[in-house]
Amino acid sequence: MHLAEFNSAPFAAATADLRPCVDVPRWVEEIAAARPFASTADLLSFAATAAPGWTEAELDGALQHHPRIGERAAGTSPEADLSRREQSGVDTSTDTAEQLLAGNREYEDKFGRVFLIRAAGRSAEEILTSLRLRLNNTADQELHVVAEQLREIAMLRLEGLIQS
């Protein structure tokens, strides 16, 4: 979608376009309300700091749309399509994939949520290393890391969505 099209879309359409980037209503609505943006760079700059301090409830809501690392998202939603593309570099037929699945279960047992990491551009081995390191985090530390990762994912998705 071109920036001009996003800028001129009705508020409801703009929020619907943004929601697959990250389903944090406060973030989506702040960005849509700040239109028009003079450039894609201005949009991305604004989005990088929009809706600061995501709450645990906002994070948990957004995580409902993220499958486990190494599992392919089912369905035809925009979120599922994005997730499949982002995880395309994660080979699910290796020993590393089995370790990721075991690590996912351990992570979920410890933190009560799906392990989230920006998978785009990362190998399964890199993701597994990060997963193992993050298992050493406290719940508060991990909540902060999840928020950072979710924002990174949102920014990558937004950058892919809007063209100058």
pLDDT of residue 84: 47
State pTM to two decimals.
0.81
pLDDT of residue 54: 92
Q: Which residue has the tokens 């590393």?
A: 96
Which of 61-70, 121-130, 136-145 bottoms out in mean pLDDT, i.e. has the lowest? 61-70
Full set of structural domains in the chain with CATH: 3-161 (1.10.3330.10)
pLDDT of residue 68: 78
